[in-house]
């Protein structure tokens, strides 16, 4: 069978996309597919809606990734503060290697420093060279818990999971795709249409509910392995969570660091205000030829959904939230 890459589907992170093996082609042909945004379709893979542009990378990641005990996996539902979490964890973990003024984050976007292991590294190369990464290796992914490679679960590597109230997540995602696509769009783009799909669970890495509940339940069972965080909490008391992340990763702040104000400095450095004002995030492009870095920074607020959702949309989502999350103990501030 001829190996092809659909020209209309380009990787988000620049570079070449690996070609599919015959075996993968067979799997792909058997999957339900829906048109999502112009940029890609969604494939129903292992119970979640997988962006077609990432599927080969995701399969390779599942097959080949060998986690190390020292690895740190940053896992998020898309548009829940991934960029922020990457900046925070990178800075906390590397704080003794360089001062903030000489941090690589001053000149490199967080998504390049902490790559998506599946959607970036394994999409570009079926056997990426992961040896060269400094220890601890820090990787990002949006994969649901049930689909993670076994070695992540079987080693002592740690997972930090971040999610966000689904109302703001939806609005953030909607804006993101408009900015990625620009005005030359043929795909679905009205708020109403996307809302309908989201209510059916059809969105990148959705359904939202299964994703958050998967990690929520696992974090209750394995609290030393999985730290479950919410965007709204990070906004409300960032200093507390900077310390909590450091404790969880076994690199707590010393008394001396606390007295010197290191926690406050890291929090300020990774803040929306500071990150958006760095030249690299104002004018740079991801991996040189990917989308503009500034698409990862929009408003950075809790409650922006109030400017977009109608009362009936709010009612629908609140009802769904109650149906899906009620009784789980997982709630969201909005
Ligand atoms: P991703 O999952 O595609 O990597 P992600 O970083 O999760 O994207 O989503 C971007 C959102 O995080 C944006 O939210 P908004 O659309 O509601 O504004 C972006 O503004 C927000 N964001 C990025 N950096 C920060 C930060 N340092 N602090 C708070 N919010 C941030």
SS (H, E, C) 132-198: CCCCCCEEEECCCHHHCCHHHHHCCCEEEEEECCHHHHHHHHHHHHHHHHCCCCCCCCCHHHHHHHH
Nearest ligand 1 atom, CA 296: 10
Please check whether residue 135 lies inside any domain of the structure: yes
User: How do strand 158-163 and strand 72-76 relate by DSSP bridges?
Assistant: parallel
Is the Cβ–Cβ distance between 113 and 128 less than 8 Å?
no
Residue keyed to tokens 């339900």: 32
**101 in a domain, yes or no?**
yes
Residue 209 maps to which CATH number? Answer: 3.40.50.300
Q: 5 lies in a domain?
A: no
Q: Find out whether the beta carbon of 268 lies less than 6 Å from any atom of ligand 1.
A: no
Mutate to test the pocket of ligand 1, among 40, 164, 172, 280 (most ligand atoms within 8 A of CB): 172
CA 22 – ligand 1 centroid, Å: 37
Residue 14 is assigned to a structural domain of this protein? no
Q: What is the pLDDT of residue 183?
A: 56
Instruction: Look up the domain containing 114 and give its range.
Output: 22-325
Q: Which atom of ligand 1 is nearest to the CA of 78?
A: 2
Q: What DSSP string describes 231-253?
A: HHHHHH-HHHHHHHHHHHTT-PP
Residue 162 domain-assigned (yes or no): yes
Strand order in the sheet with 40-45: 33-37, 40-45, 48-51
Q: Which of 296, 304, 308 to mutate to test the pocket of ligand 1 (most atoms within 8 A of CB)?
A: 296
- Which active-site residues does the annotation give? 142
Residue 72 lies in a domain: yes
According to the model, what pLDDT value does residue 1 have? 34
Contacts of 121 (CB under 8 A, 6+ apart): 57, 61, 115, 128, 130, 139
Closest CA to 249 of 110, 126, 124, 72: 72
Q: Is the CB–ligand 1 distance for residue 36 below 6 Å? A: no
Residue nearest to atom 19 of ligand 1 (CA): 297
Residue 334 lies in a domain: no
Centroid of ligand 1 to alpha carbon of 106 (angstroms) = 17
Atom nearest to 86 CA in ligand 1: 6
pLDDT at 187: 59
pLDDT (tens, 9 = 90+) of the chain, 334 residues, equals 333 334 345 555 554 454 456 667 777 888 999 988 777 899 999 999 999 989 999 999 999 999 999 999 999 999 999 999 999 999 999 999 989 999 999 999 999 999 999 999 998 888 899 998 999 999 999 999 999 999 999 999 999 999 999 999 999 999 998 887 765 556 557 899 889 999 999 999 999 999 999 999 999 999 999 999 999 999 999 999 999 999 999 999 999 999 999 999 999 999 999 999 999 999 888 887 778 899 999 999 999 999 999 999 999 999 999 999 999 999 999 9
pLDDT of residue 55: 92
Is the entire prediction scored with pTM above 0.85? yes
Residue of 147, 143, 82 lying closest to 114 (CA atoms): 82
Structural domain total, the chain: 1
- The pLDDT score that the predictor gives to residue 4 is 37
Task: Output the pLDDT for position 11.
Answer: 53
Distance 154 CA to ligand 1 centre (A): 31
Pocket-testing residue among 12, 109, 282, 298, ligand 1, by greatest number of atoms within 8 A of Cβ: 298
83 C-alpha to ligand 1 centroid (Å): 6
Q: Is the CB of 238 under 6 A from ligand 1?
A: no
In a domain, 9, yes or no: no
What pLDDT sits at residue 190? 85
Instruction: Look up residue 148 and give its two tokens.
Output: 């993670």
Rounded to whole angstroms, the Cα distance separating 315 from 83 reads 30
pLDDT of residue 208: 98
Say how many Å lie between the CA of residue 229 and the centre of ligand 1. Answer: 14
pLDDT given for residue 312 in this prediction: 96
């Amino acid at each position: 069978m001829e190996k092809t890459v659909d020209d209309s589907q380009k990787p988000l992170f620049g570079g070449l996309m690996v070609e599919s093996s015959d075996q993968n082609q067979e799997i792909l042909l058997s999957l339900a597919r829906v048109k999502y945004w112009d940029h890609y379709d969604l494939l129903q893979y292992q119970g979640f809606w997988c962006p077609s542009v990432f599927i080969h990378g995701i399969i390779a990641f599942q097959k080949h990734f060998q986690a190390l005990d020292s690895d740190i996996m940053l896992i998020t539902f898309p548009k829940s503060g991934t960029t922020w979490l990457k900046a925070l964890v990178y800075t906390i973990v590397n704080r003794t290697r360089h001062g903030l003024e000489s941090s690589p984050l001053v000149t490199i976007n967080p998504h390049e420093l902490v790559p998506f292991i599946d959607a970036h590294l394994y999409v570009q190369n079926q056997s990426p060279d992961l040896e060269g990464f400094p220890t601890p290796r820090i990787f990002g992914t949006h994969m649901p818990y049930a689909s993670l490679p076994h070695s992540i679960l079987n080693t002592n590597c740690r997972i930090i999971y971040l999610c966000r109230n689904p109302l703001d997540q939806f609005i953030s995602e909607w804006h993101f795709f408009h900015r990625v696509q620009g005005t030359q769009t043929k795909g679905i783009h009205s708020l109403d249409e996307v809302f309908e799909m989201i209510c059916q669970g059809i969105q990148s890495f959705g359904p939202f509910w299964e994703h958050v509940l998967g990690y929520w339940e696992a974090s209750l069972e394995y609290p030393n392995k999985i730290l479950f965080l919410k965007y709204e909490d990070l906004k409300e008391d960032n200093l507390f969570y900077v310390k909590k992340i450091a404790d969880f990763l076994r690199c707590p702040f010393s008394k001396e660091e606390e007295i010197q104000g290191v926690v406050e400095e890291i929090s300020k450095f990774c803040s929306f205000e500071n990150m958006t004002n760095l030249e690299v995030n104002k004018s740079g492009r991801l991996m040189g030829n990917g989308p503009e870095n500034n698409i990862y920074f929009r408003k950075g607020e809790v409650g922006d959904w109030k400017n977009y959702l109608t009362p009936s949309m709010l009612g629908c989502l609140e009802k769904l939230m109650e149906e899906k999350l009620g009784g789980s103990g997982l709630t969201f501030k909005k």
